[in-house]
Amino acid sequence: MSQIPGEDQVSMTMNNDEIADAMSESNLVNSCSDNFEFFTKIGLTKLQEPSLEHTIIKASFFTSIRDQSELAKKINIVAIHKNSHSSRSREARADSFQVFAKAVADKCGGNANLKYGWYGASRNEICEIVMHGFSWCNKAAGNRYSISLSPAKFASDSVLSSEADENGLRHVLLCRVILGKQEVLTANSNQFHPTSPEFDSGVDDLSAPRKYIVWSVYMNTHILPSYVISIKAPYLIEGSKGLLEANIIKPDSKWVSFPTLISMLSRFLEPSQIAFLNKNYSDFQERKITRKQLIDRMKEIAGHQALAAIVNLFAKKTLCATC
């Protein structure tokens, strides 16, 4: 790819993750909703829903979760915000991305292997990333040596890595990624740089990738956050068939974050049991275990009924507090 697409060009062909062209002359409007004040405060702009750009991003997201058709019917995109790189530091990062994309393209015979990738995290982490860039301190980053993103057609993997906020919304970043020439990395690899100058990024599987892996030394030159997609979804776990609704909780208003749940469990569990749950939660944040594995271990320690009771109690307290 000798010509690097500009930031005002967006879309994805979901079959091969290639970047396609779509003029983004759509109107951008600042969100006046209190739910998204934290995004507008950091300079993100809300895409107007009838616009072409909004339509393309929305269609791309739902195409990427088409394998979970039943759950897809229950997921609603509430808002899409665009990173316009309005501050000087963000503009500099965008310019740096273009420079590195050209350098990688020159090295790789004209093809920088530009893709789109999804990154799920908490709302606060996403705000930090947009404002200051990626850091090994980011809890959803994978580990301190690399950042893992999901390919464009596997948004569901990043939805699982996201965390519901106090409004029950989940947020995922859609990023442009310079992949260049990739090398296969093993699970839980501590590799923090390419094995040779010919490689630019890592991948879990060359033929059917589920993870794009960018080393920490490249995380703020080879990844450019472009959009924040905010969704309303049921409480999710990862099952053998992909995304499933958890059977310990009904969707709508009954939800509770893992840290809050562990805190509430600490009132009647032994300190050693809480330490075990905290360790497993840390493993989940570092993507060493799946969400389903974490929930199963919570069930083993606290019991299914206890978890259900705590979630119901928390939901009632939250509802009363908003009355």
Contact of 101 with 1, CB cutoff 8 Å: no
Tokens matching residue 198: 């010919």
**Residue 173: what pLDDT?**
96
**Residue 317: what pLDDT?**
53
CATH class of 12-232: alpha beta
Where in the chain are the domains? 12-232, 247-322
**Residue 251: what pLDDT?**
36
Q: How far is CA 186 from CA 48, 189, 294, 300, in A?
A: 42, 6, 22, 30
Extract the residue ranges of the chain whose pLDDT is less than 50. Answer: 1-32, 139-141, 238-242, 245-254, 318-323
DSSP state of 163: -
Segments in the chain forming alpha helices (H): 37-40, 52-64, 69-72, 88-107, 123-132, 155-161, 258-265, 271-285, 291-302, 304-322
Segments in 51-137 forming alpha helices (H): 52-64, 69-72, 88-107, 123-132
Burial (Cβ within 10 Å: 0-12, 13-18, ≥19) of residue 300? exposed
108 vs 111: CA distance, rounded Å: 6
- Whether this prediction's pTM lies above 0.85 is answered by no
**Residue 38: what pLDDT?**
86
DSSP state of 195: S
**Residue 70: what pLDDT?**
63
13 has which bridge partners? 18
**Residue 78: what pLDDT?**
94
- The string of pLDDT tens digits covering residues 219-277 is 999 999 999 999 988 655 544 344 554 433 333 334 567 888 888 778 777 888 888 98
Burial (Cβ within 10 Å: 0-12, 13-18, ≥19) of residue 84? middle
DSSP state of 217: G
**Residue 119: what pLDDT?**
95
| Max Cα–Cα distance, the chain, nearest Å | 62
DSSP state of 36: G
- The string of pLDDT tens digits covering residues 190-216 is 777 888 899 999 998 998 899 999 998
Contact of 57 with 73, CB cutoff 8 Å: no
Pairing state between β 169-178 and 146-151: unpaired
